Chains A and B, each alone.
Chain A
Amino acid sequence: AQSVTQPDIHITVSEGASLELRCNYSYGATPYLFWYVQSPGQGLQLLLKYFSGDTLVQGIKGFEAEFKRSQSSFNLRKPSVHWSDAAEYFCAVGVSSNTGKLIFGQGTTLQVKP
C-alpha cells in the first residue's frame, strides 16, 4: 500500500543550526514527492517537489531535499534554521499522475530555540 512515514513527530533545533527532516515513502512506481509547510492556523504551502531528474531539489526559503531511491527517502534539509521556520512540515507522495492525488505523512513539528 502507498504510504508516507515521517519518523520524527517533534524536532527542536537551535537557531542557526542545520536541519534535516526525514521522510520515507512506500510506492510501487516512480514517486512524485513533495514537502509542504504549515504555520499555525494556516493552510499548507509548497516548499519543493521532485518529479524526475536531479535528485537534489531546491525549494523556497532556503530548503532543499534529496531523493534517494535505494532508501525510499526524501529528506528535507536546511543549512541554517531561522526562528521563522518553526512550523509543521509534511512530506507527501503523488500516487496518480492522472489525478494528482497526494498521500501525506503525519507531519513533523519543528521548534526553534533562540
Chain B
Amino acid sequence: EAGVAQSPRYKIIEKRQSVAFWCNPISGHATLYWYQQILGQGPKLLIQFQNNGVVDDSQLPKDRFSAERLKGVDSTLKIQPAKLEDSAVYLCASSARGFNQPQHFGDGTRLSIL
C-alpha cells in the first residue's frame, strides 16, 4: 500500500511569512495527525482529525497555526505568520479507525525560518 505522502519536503521562509504543508494519508485511514518535531526532541501532537472533524487541537497555537481536512482525506497545515521558533520538521501520520491502531508516518516537511 502507498504510504503517507507529504509535500513539500523542505521549505525555507522568512519570519512573518506564511507557509502551508500538505498531507495525503493512507487510503481508508480515518484518523490523521499533525506533529511538530523540533530538533533534538520527540514529536509533539499539534492536531488530530477523525474523518474531517477535530478530535484534539489542545497544543495547536491557534493564533498562528490552522489546519483543515476537507472531505476527510487530504489535510493542510498552515502557519501565518511564522516565527523563528516554528523551525522544525512537521510530520503527518494516519491510522485506521479503532482501538490504538498504529500510526503510519510520512517523511515530513523540514521548515527553516530565517
Contact = CB atoms under 8 A, between A and B. Distances in A.
A94 B100 contact: yes
A44 B43 contact: yes
B42 A104 contact: yes
B56 interface: yes
A100 B101 contact: yes
Nearest to B96: A100
Given A44-B91, A51-B100, A104 B44 contact: yes
B88 to A, nearest CB: 14
B45 interface: yes
B107 interface: yes
Interface residues of A, number: 25
A43 B108 contact: yes
A43 B45 contact: no
Interface in A30-58: 32, 34, 36, 41-46, 49, 51
A71 to B, nearest CB: 21
Contacts of B24: none
Given A43-B108, A44-B91, A100 B41 contact: no
B50 to A, nearest CB: 8
15 contacts: A34-B102, A36-B105, A42-B108, A43-B93, A43-B107, A45-B105, A49-B102, A92-B42, A94-B100, A97-B99, A97-B100, A99-B55, A99-B56, A100-B48, A102-B43
Interface of B: 4, 31, 40-45, 48, 50, 55-56, 91, 93, 95, 99-108
Q: Which 6 A-B pairs have the closest CB atoms?
A: A104-B42, A43-B105, A44-B105, A43-B107, A46-B102, A43-B106
Interface of A: 4, 32, 34, 36, 41-46, 49, 51, 90, 92, 94, 97, 99-107
